[in-house]
Copies of this chain bind each other. A is one copy, B any other.
Amino acid sequence: MIFSSRLIEDAVAEFSKLPGIGKKSALRMVLHLLKQDTAEVRSFADALLHMKEDITFCSECHNISDTAVCAICVNTQRNKNQICVVENIRDVIAIETTQQYNGVYHVLGGILSPLDGVGPEQLQIQSLVDRVHKNPDMQEIIMALNPTLEGDTTVYYISRQLQQLPVKITTIARGISFGGELEYADEMTLARSISKRLPIDNYVNISGQ
């Protein structure tokens, strides 16, 4: 693309560095911002800078946080004896958005992947073991990792680390998604959802309470 303005060109170049944004979408966004008030554009730029400069990671669960300990970990209403282990902060947001989970989290920061050079020491696994050690009332560790080979390996590795401790280890249910169609489900999911079938009573109560 040939722009007649250097300023536009720079702004488009910055936007097209974002994931999933090509030059045409970037230009569309830039021209949209150009039409807004200066105050609007300033608040956009400020929101980005504030986020980048002020955000930190929770010292408890390694979730992103505005404070040293995140809003979920300091919330006294939440069950500190139940930890949901997730790969990244996107998963925390996804689970929080369901409003069905009342425990706390532990963000690993990735999953075991020897091919990518990610071993246990690159992840927050030791700090999870320490958290379980430190809390004698800990009841349950819920593994909510993606159902890939690496995800299953990570679940297996962590459960080996925790096996000496008196804590229940569970994993989220796999099966056919709501709205999913049986004929398009992969064999493994379908097979697992048949073998782990539930009585109708449980099925009706989707919140599992």
* A contact set with B: CB distance below 8 Å: 1-8, 10-11, 13-14, 17-21, 25, 27-34, 36, 38, 41-55, 63-66, 70-72, 89-90, 92-93, 96-97, 99
Instruction: Decide if A11 touches B45 in the complex (CB within 8 Å).
Output: no
A66 and B20 contact, CB distance less than 8 A: no
Cα separation A34 to B52 with both chains bound (whole Å): 6
A65 to chain B, nearest CB (A): 6
Number of copies of chain A assembled together: 2
Q: Which single residue of chain B is at the shortest CB-CB distance from A61?
A: B4
Closest to A45 in B: B45
Instruction: Write out the residue numbers on chain B whose beta carbons fall within 8 Å of the beta carbon of A99.
Output: 2
In the bound complex, do residue B8 and residue A64 qualify as a contact, i.e. CB atoms below 8 Å apart?
yes
CB <8 Å contact, B28 and A20: yes
A65 to B4: give the CA distance in the assembly, Å.
Answer: 7
